[in-house]
Structure 1
Amino acid sequence: MTRASLSRRPRQTDIARFAGVSVSTVSRVLANEPGISTNVRDQVIRIASELGYNVRPVPSPQPQNQRSVALIPVDQATGGLGVFYEGILSGLRGAAARSGGTLLPRLVRSASLKVSELKQTLSETEAAGVFLVGIDPPDDLCDWLSDSGLPTVWVNGNDPSLQFDCVSPANFYGARLATQHLIAAGHRRILHFTMSHRHTIRERVRGFEAATAKAGVATRIVQLPATAPRTSTAACEAMEAILLEDEGFTAAFCMNDMMAVGIMEAVTNHHLSIPQDFAVMGFDDLPCASMTTPRLTTMQVDREAIGQEAYYLMQRRIADPGADPRKVELAVRLVEGATVQALSKTSADGELPA
């Protein structure tokens, strides 16, 4: 690989292609941003030089003992979504370790999180920044964070005002793709099970509505109570009631895999076959998705990548406090299980097999 490999001036996209990394990674290396491993950094610099890209000499970044605190909702971390947040926390910890930083996780009750509580946590930890993991902070806390200038990143969060850096999976597009998958299989009466009023979950509802509206599909959105102690149980009970109504729904797209497990239980209890009689689609690709029979079709979220990206955003924010906020969405991908298959014409016309 030499400069002669290209017939024009090299671009960062060329470097990324030959190095086998993302354009974002190339940009970070060339800007000498922290958070990139030595091997990747050296490889990008070497290939850029071979291609004739003008690489400015910069000193190697020195690890900094950057202390940051990650606030995690106690109900999520200890409940059914615990494994989801464990993956994000693993990504945050890994990125911190590679950068010579220190990550301090703290469980909080997000519904009652107050400015005074956050101030006390910052005082105790001497943290230079805060990650709000799965937390939509109240307005007074947002105002204080904005006024204080404390580096803040919303993780698995979506700031509708874009005052703060935030990173999340592509919830709208993932939900739209999941619903389109059901529609492509012939389903024309589709349920959507949801629960939370978080901004991220509302994006999944929007994705479902966008896909079904375009296809002219009959739908019902089933809002489960946020206070339900077990998501799968609440979903099962709601689905059993719907099946008793016998309105001809043939598929369900669920906000997450735990709901999908409950839906599958209800369908089986009513002596219907999955996916022949009823299709089920999940989201997140949690470990439970691979334990169902048949294997749940779902959307995979790279939880560790969310944590890693959040840490890079924090490093950027600390290095450049005046930078414009960034909203990063990471792609999700369809995991082909065995809970969705093409419907027969009779079922597609709206008749639910007995």
Structure 2
Amino acid sequence: MAVTSRDVARLAGVSQPTVSRALRDDPRVSEDTKKRVRDAAVLLGYVPSEAGRALSSGRTRRIGLLVTDLKNQFYSNIIAPVHDELEGIGYQLMLHTETADNETVAERLIANGLDGVILATTTVDSVAPLRLRDRSLPFVYFNRTAAYVDADATVVAPSRGLSEAVTRAVELGHRRIGAVLGPSNTSTAQSRELALRAALAEHGLVLEPDTVRRGPYDTASGDAATTELLAMPAPPTLIFCGNDVVAYGALNAARRAGFDVPRDVSVVGFDDLPPAAWPIIELTTIAYDLSGMAREAARLMARRIEEPDAPLAHVEYETSFVERRTLAAAASR
């Protein structure tokens, strides 16, 4: 006969609900009681049933992470810290991928029996947060936020890092500056563009319309946009990119067009993903604690599930400028 939680309770001298709480590390249970319960479970060979936990608590202990493209290096660098943080507090990570953030996405998330969702793909005009709110499925914004529904969020504050980058660029003689920005319907693209324009204005500079391109946060977008910018009669001497992945595309385009980086054109990214520091790339970029931000999103998600009436938390991560090989003195043309 299979060992049950009642058997563990009898051996440990506690109630059955206490066994459940102790095995999920509930802070309301003393450490001494947790030890007695765990020792009893090991002695009896008891393995908790996830299905049983869900039935008794009304929770599955599963949290979804919604991303757009598993091949995109940005997302691959947040999955591990979210997983590790959730696992450490007794939750399972369920990865969901979609190419669009719409009503269908929300319904699929709701149908998967999740306790909550970390949204990493939100657009400012997305209806998914509305649908999740209306169906009472808790969620947290990671990196991007939507306009219609306020919620817990971890976001980047781009101003300081971009201000430091522009100041350094001006010192190096850059005056004609281009930008390959992210999608205009994302909060990240909007905030980074505003911060970049404000930093340039401090030095009497502007982003001219002909030197600005917008597109997805992917390598192909950076490649195509930079190809266009470098084909101009008077190309920019420096290109700011919406993120590092876009910047990798910009570097590819420059190489293909016969432009030396940084002698002929400089490139600056955003995110400081691990490959940015590789000797073969050495990308100048804007850095922040991406792993810490992902872990905080996981903590906020668990908090929202366990304390549904807690005040909303908006956690901003400060940025800094990291200078590497792809930035040098402006080319004289």
Give TM-score scaled by structure 1 length: 0.68
Identify if the C-alpha distance between structure 1 residues 189 and 218 changes in structure 2 by more than 3 Å, giving closer, same or farther.
farther
Partners of 1:170 and 1:149 in 2: CA distance: 29
Residue number in structure 1 paired with 2:223: 233
My pick for the range that moved more, 152-161 or 265-274, is 265-274
Identify if the C-alpha distance between structure 1 residues 139 and 270 changes in structure 2 by more than 3 Å, giving closer, same or farther.
closer
**1:267 Cα shift?**
4.3
Of 70, 74, 83, the residue aligned with 1:77 is 70
**1:95 Cα shift?**
0.6
Of 177, 201, 204, the residue aligned with 2:192 is 204
**1:212 Cα shift?**
0.6
Secondary structure at the counterpart of residue 63 of structure 2: strand
Partners of 1:118 and 1:218 in 2: CA distance: 40
Report if the CA contact (8 A) 2:118-2:140 is conserved: yes
Of 295, 300, 304, the residue aligned with 1:317 is 304
Residue type of the alignment partner of 2:103:
K
**1:234 Cα shift?**
0.8
1:136 paired with 2:123, answer yes
Partners of 1:290 and 1:122 in 2: CA distance: 39
**1:152 Cα shift?**
0.7
Of 60, 70, 80, the residue aligned with 1:90 is 80
Residue number in structure 2 paired with 1:353: 332
Residue type of the alignment partner of 1:155:
F
CA deviation map 1:207-235 (0-9, x unaligned): 11010111101433522444988224213
CA deviation map 1:53-89 (0-9, x unaligned): xxxx97669899722111211xx323xxx22111211
Partners of 1:256 and 1:143 in 2: CA distance: 28
Report if the CA contact (8 A) 1:171-1:201 is conserved: no
Residue number in structure 1 paired with 2:63: 68
Residue number in structure 2 paired with 1:280: 267
Report if the CA contact (8 A) 2:180-2:222 is conserved: no
**Percent same amino acid among aligned pairs?**
26
Residue number in structure 2 paired with 1:289: 276
Of 120, 123, 132, the residue aligned with 1:145 is 132
Mark the runs of 5 or more structure 2 residues left unpaired by the alignment.
1-24, 35-52, 54-58
CA deviation map 1:141-183 (0-9, x unaligned): 3323233332110112124456111112223443333333322
Residue type of the alignment partner of 1:145:
L
Of 316, 323, 327, the residue aligned with 1:336 is 323
1:100 paired with 2:90, answer yes
**1:309 Cα shift?**
0.5
* Equivalence map 1:4-19=2 (5 Å): none
Identify if the C-alpha distance between structure 1 residues 215 and 152 changes in structure 2 by more than 3 Å, giving closer, same or farther.
same
Partners of 2:218 and 2:108 in 1: CA distance: 31
Report if the CA contact (8 A) 2:64-2:94 is conserved: yes
**1:295 Cα shift?**
2.0
Residue type of the alignment partner of 1:214:
E
The CA RMSD over aligned residues, in Å, is 3.2
Partners of 1:231 and 1:288 in 2: CA distance: 18
Residue number in structure 2 paired with 1:110: 100
Report if the CA contact (8 A) 2:82-2:294 is conserved: yes
Identify if the C-alpha distance between structure 1 residues 225 and 335 changes in structure 2 by more than 3 Å, giving closer, same or farther.
closer
